[in-house]
Amino acid sequence: MASPTSFLSLLSLIAFFLITVSADPDMLQDLCVADLSSGIKVNGFPCKDAANVSSLDFFSQGIANPGLTNNTFGALVTGANVMTIPGLNTLGVSLARIDYAPGGLNPPHTHPRATEVVYVLEGTLDVGFLTTANRLISQSLKKGDVFAFPRGLVHFQKNNGRVPAAVIAAFNSQLPGTQSLGATLFGSTPPVPDEILSQAFQTTPRIVRNIKSKFQPKK
């Protein structure tokens, strides 16, 4: 039988392994402003020369004003991530502003690299996410409310009110990524074969082709 001392040593070794393997690494420098023009491919972006860094690398006014919602879904997401604020590189955070016309929908989608937390600036929203057990967790939100969407789970927001709505969304990733289910499945390039989608959704190839036509780029 193992002694209490060896057992505690084993637990310490396991804990050390979990901490060092599963946790994100700490930053190794004060900042690493993204060099978005670099051809070097890394997990993230290479660092800009520190001598060329300025306050503008950490600044944006991109989400100060409402976005235009005159589109198919009546909603617009405006990102404030590493692509618009290069100073966010390696910091693991970003924001977005989402505006919704009356009746507007941010359709079912996922963020593969981040959990999302929204704060309602104005209006009302019906929101929800789906667990891997196919359970819908939903909530009605009003101005000042906060709601969280776990990383990787399908979620949506719908403005069922008569006035515009808006939220600020926070992410624990510099670039959370977005996969909108409809556009991903029915608007990919090259396209997902009709027979795959018709079997998956228990419908006919003709209906699949009709749905695909709605996700083609507008000319």
Numbered residues of the known binding site for Mn(2+): 109, 111, 116, 155
Q: Residues at the annotated binding site for oxalate?
A: 106, 111, 116
Q: Which of 124, 117, 125, 183 is nearest to 157 (CA)?
A: 125
In the chain, the N- to C-terminal Cα span, in Å, equals 74
Q: Which of 135, 117, 127 is nearest to 160 (CA)?
A: 127
Does an H or E element contain 163, and which?
none
Q: Is residue 100 a contact partner of residue 120, using CB atoms and an 8 Å limit?
A: no
Across the chain, the runs of DSSP E, i.e. the strands, are 75-80, 94-100, 105-110, 116-122, 125-130, 136-141, 146-149, 155-158, 165-171, 179-180
Side-chain-side CA neighbours of residue 87 (13 Å):
11
Distance CA 73, CA 75 (A): 5
Q: Residues at the annotated binding site?
A: 106, 109, 111, 116, 155
